[in-house]
Structure 1
Amino acid sequence: MESSSLSALDLARIQFAFTVSFHIIFPALSIGLSSFIAVLEWRWLKTGKAYYKELCLFWSKIFAIAFGMGVVSGVVMAYEFGTNWAGFSKFAGPITGALLTYEVMTAFFLEAGFLGIMLFGWNRVGPRAHFAATLTVAVGTLMSAFWILASNSWMQTPRGFAIDGDHVVPVDWFQIVFNPSFPYRLVHMTLAAFLVAALLVAAVGAWHLLKGRRDPAIKRTFSMAIWMLLAIAPLQAFVGDQHGLNTLRYQPAKIAAIEGLWETETNGTALNLFGIPDMQAETTRYALSVPHLGSLLLTHTWDGEIRGLKSFPREERPDSTVVFWSFRVMVGLGVLMIVLACTGWFLDRRGRLYDSAWFHRFALVMGPTGFITLLAGWVTTEVGRQPWVVYGVMRTSQAISPLSAQQVGLSLMAFVVVYFLVFGTGIYYMLKLMHAGPSVAPDESVATREPRRAAQVLAATS
């Protein structure tokens, strides 16, 4: 009788997926918020309006918590490479280890060196020096994304190396860093981080608009987030399209799995809008297909040919059941982001951006979708790469440490408990701060609170 229990490899993959999912949301939020805070501080220096500084102080608190949790969860993952993935570390360490070292020596040193000034230096350094520190932190977060994406992209489309016995040797660092998928994935991830922050900022603004606040800090929070969405969401769709073309060229099996495509269709490929891919039966059940649409979207031609999963050996096929739906979650929520942004533009043109409660509820509900879309995109990327850990070079089964399923399972359970306690507490505190909202700036207090006082007097005398 065949056992259905999970192997050490299965459990190690689940554990890494769990820890990296917790980790990625915090750096993404840090990248987006640091740039947003820099814009707010620039506006404060330029206009002198106090509510911009209040917004800087407010969002800096959220950023500090996200940054701290990102650092802690990132350190855990570094140890995890040694405990669970020793085979990978031994084989790819000369390249991935160096890239992560560059990230620490450049990005992390910048962030750690200037974060204290950004958070606590408001009354200790001049305004311009403080703004320089804020900019440096924002640049540091972007540099961190640069090196992390360079490492991960090399695993997706490896170039510039040679194999010497049981490990790789770097041959051309330019090809290693600027591998074929890196530019697309770097821009795609950076825009995703901006979307994560914009949606969260919009949701906070919408929450306080629904609660009746109409002071400039809240209105500016909401409008800036909507305008950022209007600029970034359509651009992200374009970059995603270009990324898809790149993936079709270098990882055709991933595209076939994403589309639930089994047969190589000639004279035009249909697109499966919905369906349930069945890996055993080698078919997509209940498929709702549109003829030629797959060719139009994936090759930009009417009759472009896309290889089906059956053209790849069974042992080299990604799990289509997972990536088919993770991709559609990502795209579907991306479309809703564009709808949210365009609707906000329409309402702003008619002077109703701050008075449409139904739109504020829409923005509030959309708040978490940036994180969901981010995770769905990474599931598509990483599961779609399987069974390779270094695409076409090293299989995931070769990367695992010599551990038993019991050992990995025990550590997985410990991670689940500790992560929910530690990071759950941090997330709860972030939500509590968002619920309270930014303080009313000193020069706004009379203007924004006077109507409420008048309303109270009127209610008392009626």
Structure 2
Amino acid sequence: MDDVILLSRLQFAVAVFFHFIFVPLTLGLSLLIALMETWYVKTGNEAWRRHAKFWGKLFVINFTLGVVTGITLEFQFGTNWSRYSEYVGDIFGSLLAIEATVAFFLESTFLAVWHFGWNRVGKKVHLLSIWLVVIAGNLSALWIILANGFMQNPVGYVIQNGRAELADFFAVLCNPYAWGMYAHTLMAAWLLAGFFVLGVSAWHLLRKSHTDFFRMSFRMAAPITLVLAVALAATGDLQGKNVAQLQPAKLAAMESHWETTANAPFYMLVLPDTENERNSIEAIGIPGLMSWIAYGDAGAEVKGLKDFPKEDRPPVGPVFWGFRIMVGLGVVFLILAAAATIQRKREMPCGGLMKALVWNIPLPYISIALGWLVAEMGRQPWIVYNLMRTSDAVSPVPAGNVLFSLIGFIVVYTLLGVLDIWLLRKYACKGPEEV
């Protein structure tokens, strides 16, 4: 059974991480394209129409491949996690059904209108279609995260007939953990798209290719990206406080905090020693900072990992390092976005900054993946926090079957990932079509 649990978790992780290569760029790039087309309709400037069409081509490539990887995710709740679906499907299933039948269909329909509607429908109708794509795409993400939010902080249910059944849909809809997660995920996705536009624009500016076009893209994206980097930090802080209130074991793992402490310090340099339940290195501590970050009170008590039974503790190493690297990347994003905003009006921004923005393109993807690692591994050993253990949720299937499907997923998803990167690189490097 342990092999089945491990393999099923690996398979779901592979599916989620590959799917989330496509999702954030879809969410963020649709917003930027909608802004470009809004300025085209408002000003009549044909340059903004060219921008919407160029970045729209990259958006459609990414969206198409994202659909393929997203469909298989929901099937795994029946194939790999059937006991989970039996126990909480009354709540979880309703949220996924709304996402698929309302938000996703709306997004797909109006994306078709937008993609094929150039010169076929009026300007305002065409503009409305891309804004509906933006709204529907981000609503789709909301329903998915409300479903995940129930796993993180189960609310609005009663236990009857041997399962969790929906008792208060409004409570599920207003779950504070889910809304904090949604805000942080949305800012991360939009920021990724901003850096994608900046990185591609910087690549062309360094090569003096389509300079007027990509200078315009750069000047538009830089201040938006800076605002989003600040918003990402703010929503991250708010979600951290949600974690402290609702999942104190996850907070302790994120900080490798072992002893329950009031006025808990935050250490800049930490090296966890999980075997001995301590930190082998703790250096440059700021008294009360961890308490203040977690609870808004420098004197607050922060519960340590030793206060939780070993069987209820998350894996400290991956959660701690995932969180630290994610925060470090957030600082890098703030610096790059600020530098790009300061230099955006120059004919040719600093070459070093341009190169850094090109190399930065994959980093927001890595940061988002680490964020999901912290969120999901930090909840373990619970599939639904304090309600259902992961070990009780897995399907009773042979380990060999799961291993076979896991290998298949890795092969197919790797091919799709390579195809996505190749197509995006090909058309991004090609640049816009000539007038």
Q: TM-score, normalised by structure 1?
A: 0.91
Alignment of 1:340-355 (within 5 A): 340-348=336-344, 351-352=345-346, 354-355=348-349
CA contact (8 A) 1:151 1:177 kept: no
In structure 2, the residue corresponding to 1:118 is in which secondary structure?
A: helix
Q: Which residue of 2 aligns with 1:168?
A: 164
The match for 1:99 among 95, 98, 107 is 95
| Distance in 2 between residues matched to 1:148 and 1:241, nearest whole Å | 22
The match for 1:83 among 50, 59, 79 is 79
| Distance in 1 between residues matched to 2:430 and 2:51, nearest whole Å | 13
Alpha-carbon offset, residue 353 of structure 1? 6.4
CA contact (8 A) 2:204 2:211 kept: no
| Distance in 2 between residues matched to 1:72 and 1:347, nearest whole Å | 39
The match for 1:416 among 407, 410, 419 is 410
CA contact (8 A) 2:28 2:193 kept: yes
| Distance in 1 between residues matched to 2:111 and 2:2, nearest whole Å | 43
Q: Which residue of 2 aligns with 1:281?
A: 276
Query: What are the ranges of 5 or more consecutive residues in structure 1 without an aligned counterpart?
Result: 443-462
RMSD across aligned C-alpha pairs, in angstroms?
A: 1.5
| Distance in 2 between residues matched to 1:29 and 1:428, nearest whole Å | 15
Q: Which residue of 2 aligns with 1:64?
A: 60
The match for 1:387 among 381, 385, 405 is 381
Per the alignment, do residues 289 and 323 of structure 1 end up closer, same or farther by CA in structure 2, a change over 3 Å counting?
A: farther
Q: Which residue of 2 aligns with 1:359?
A: 353
CA contact (8 A) 2:203 2:358 kept: yes
Question: What CA deviation, in whole Å up to 9, does each residue of 1:326-351 have, x standing for no partner?
Answer: 11111111111110121123324xx4
Task: Tell me which moved more, 248-257 or 368-377.
Answer: 368-377
How many residues matched? 434
Task: Tell me which moved more, 45-54 or 99-108.
Answer: 45-54
Q: Which residue of 2 aligns with 1:134?
A: 130
CA contact (8 A) 1:326 1:376 kept: yes
In structure 2, the residue corresponding to 1:280 is in which secondary structure?
A: helix
| Distance in 1 between residues matched to 2:181 and 2:196, nearest whole Å | 22
Q: Which residue of 1 aligns with 2:224?
A: 228
Task: Tell me which moved more, 199-208 or 213-222.
Answer: 213-222
| Distance in 1 between residues matched to 2:63 and 2:170, nearest whole Å | 30
In structure 2, the residue corresponding to 1:318 is in which secondary structure?
A: coil
Alpha-carbon offset, residue 196 of structure 1? 1.0
| Distance in 2 between residues matched to 1:419 and 1:340, nearest whole Å | 31
Q: Which amino acid is the alignment partner of residue 219 of structure 1?
A: R
Residue 395 of structure 2 is aligned to residue 397 of structure 1 = no
In structure 1, the residue corresponding to 2:176 is in which secondary structure?
A: coil
Q: Which residue of 1 aligns with 2:37?
A: 41
Question: What CA deviation, in whole Å up to 9, does each residue of 1:4-28 have, x standing for no partner?
Answer: x971111111111111001122121
Question: What CA deviation, in whole Å up to 9, does each residue of 1:67-101 have, x standing for no partner?
Answer: 11221111111111111111111111111110000
Per the alignment, do residues 407 and 353 of structure 1 end up closer, same or farther by CA in structure 2, a change over 3 Å counting?
A: farther
In structure 1, the residue corresponding to 2:378 is in which secondary structure?
A: helix
Q: Which protein shows a greater Rg? A: 1
| Distance in 2 between residues matched to 1:241 and 1:436, nearest whole Å | 40
Task: Tell me which moved more, 209-218 or 61-70.
Answer: 209-218
| Distance in 2 between residues matched to 1:304 and 1:289, nearest whole Å | 20
CA contact (8 A) 1:91 1:168 kept: yes
Residue 152 of structure 2 is aligned to residue 153 of structure 1 = no
Q: Which amino acid is the alignment partner of residue 172 of structure 1?
A: D
CA contact (8 A) 2:266 2:286 kept: yes
Residue 101 of structure 2 is aligned to residue 108 of structure 1 = no
| Distance in 2 between residues matched to 1:124 and 1:273, nearest whole Å | 58
| Distance in 2 between residues matched to 1:274 and 1:408, nearest whole Å | 40
Question: What CA deviation, in whole Å up to 9, does each residue of 1:25-62 have, x standing for no partner?
Answer: 21211110111110010011112222211111111111
Q: Which amino acid is the alignment partner of residue 385 of structure 1?
A: R
CA contact (8 A) 1:270 1:289 kept: no
The match for 2:180 among 155, 177, 184 is 184
Q: Which residue of 1 aligns with 2:291?
A: 295
In structure 2, the residue corresponding to 1:284 is in which secondary structure?
A: strand
Q: Which amino acid is the alignment partner of residue 368 of structure 1?
A: P
| Distance in 1 between residues matched to 2:409 and 2:176, nearest whole Å | 35
The match for 1:320 among 298, 316, 320 is 316
Alignment of 1:418-433 (within 5 A): 418-433=412-427
| Distance in 1 between residues matched to 2:433 and 2:217, nearest whole Å | 12
The match for 2:9 among 6, 10, 13 is 13
CA contact (8 A) 1:160 1:173 kept: yes
Q: Which residue of 2 aligns with 1:452?
A: none
| Distance in 2 between residues matched to 1:46 and 1:174, nearest whole Å | 39
CA contact (8 A) 1:161 1:171 kept: yes
| Distance in 2 between residues matched to 1:210 and 1:75, nearest whole Å | 39
Q: Which residue of 2 aligns with 1:374?
A: 368
In structure 1, the residue corresponding to 2:236 is in which secondary structure?
A: helix
Task: Tell me which moved more, 429-438 or 394-403.
Answer: 429-438
| Distance in 1 between residues matched to 2:422 and 2:9, nearest whole Å | 28
Q: Which residue of 1 aligns with 2:237?
A: 241
Alpha-carbon offset, residue 352 of structure 1? 3.0
| Distance in 2 between residues matched to 1:132 and 1:370, nearest whole Å | 29
Q: Which amino acid is the alignment partner of residue 371 of structure 1?
A: Y
In structure 1, the residue corresponding to 2:301 is in which secondary structure?
A: coil
Q: Which residue of 1 aligns with 2:192?
A: 196
Q: Which residue of 2 aligns with 1:217?
A: 213
Query: What are the ranges of 5 or more consecutive residues in structure 2 without an aligned counterpart?
Result: none
| Distance in 1 between residues matched to 2:420 and 2:337, nearest whole Å | 29
Per the alignment, do residues 423 and 366 of structure 1 end up closer, same or farther by CA in structure 2, a change over 3 Å counting?
A: closer
Q: Which runs of 4 or more aligned residues in structure 1 lie more than 4 Å from their structure 2 counterparts after TM superposition?
A: none
Q: Which amino acid is the alignment partner of residue 390 of structure 1?
A: V
Task: Tell me which moved more, 228-237 or 269-278.
Answer: 269-278
Q: Which residue of 2 aligns with 1:460?
A: none
Question: What CA deviation, in whole Å up to 9, does each residue of 1:180-209 have, x standing for no partner?
Answer: 212211111111110110111110000001
Q: Which amino acid is the alignment partner of residue 232 of structure 1?
A: L
| Distance in 1 between residues matched to 2:181 and 2:281, nearest whole Å | 32
